[in-house]
């Protein structure tokens, strides 16, 4: 299932002749980003609750070991989620500043399709692939 369906958001229905990043599009992506952020924050709260469970109260050594490896996994996931929340916040401020939807490197339109799949994208597909090629070298 893709992200937008998971969040229960209706994909944007573009009208003919509509201007790119018009008010309707911006409010669509604002709702989308806020829903995603809320989902991540709710999951993080759950994670924090699981982490608070004290490992020293687990009597069996094997159970304790598997608990601790789970904990490592949860903490790693938590770190990734925090980074994502930061990117979501940046995208929301970009909406407020009217810079949302445009490539940070070449200022081209990122495109509705790409943003629907990845609403925190801040580069067009061309610049993104260039950056990835550079990373490989
Ligand atoms: Zn670009």
pLDDT tens for 89-118 read 999 999 999 999 999 999 999 999 999 999
Spell out which residues have Cβ within 5 A of ligand 1, the ion: 103, 105-106, 108, 124, 127
> Which pLDDT value is given to residue 64?
84
Band of residue 55 on the pLDDT scale cut at 50, 70, 90: low
- Residues above pLDDT 70, as percent of the chain: 91
Tokens standing for 116?
């629907």
Q: Which of 131, 37, 18 is nearest to 82 (CA)?
A: 37
Cα(106) to ligand 1 centroid in Å equals 4
Whether the per-residue pLDDT at 46 is higher than 90: the answer is no
Cα(133) to ligand 1 centroid in Å equals 14
Domain 21-136 CATH class label: mainly alpha
The DSSP symbol for 56 reads G
Spatial neighbors of 2 by CB under 8 A, at least 6 apart, are 117
CA separation for the pair 17, 127 (Å, rounded): 27
Cα(100) to ligand 1 centroid in Å equals 13
Band of residue 119 on the pLDDT scale cut at 50, 70, 90: very high
Cα(112) to ligand 1 centroid in Å equals 14
Tokens standing for 43?
């999951």
Cα(97) to ligand 1 centroid in Å equals 19
Cα(42) to ligand 1 centroid in Å equals 33
> Which pLDDT value is given to residue 19?
96
Q: Which of 94, 100, 104, 96 is nearest to 126 (CA)?
A: 104
Q: Which of 106, 135, 136 is nearest to 123 (CA)?
A: 106
Counted residue by residue, the chain has a size of 137
Is the overall model pTM greater than 0.85, yes or no? Answer: no
């Amino acid at each position: 299932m893709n992200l937008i369906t998971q969040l229960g958001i209706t994909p944007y229905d573009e009208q003919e002749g509509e201007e790119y990043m018009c008010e309707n599009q911006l409010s669509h992506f604002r709702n989308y980003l806020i829903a995603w952020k809320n989902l991540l924050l709710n999951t993080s709260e759950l994670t924090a609750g699981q982490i608070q469970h004290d490992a020293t109260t687990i009597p069996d050594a094997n159970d304790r070991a598997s608990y601790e490896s789970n904990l490592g996994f949860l903490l790693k996931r938590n770190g990734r989620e925090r980074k994502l929340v930061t990117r979501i916040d940046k995208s929301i401020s970009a909406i407020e500043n009217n810079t949302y939807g445009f490539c940070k490197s070449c200022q081209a339109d990122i495109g509705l399709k790409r943003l629907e799949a990845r609403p925190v994208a801040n580069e067009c597909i061309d610049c993104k692939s260039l950056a990835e090629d550079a990373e490989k070298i």
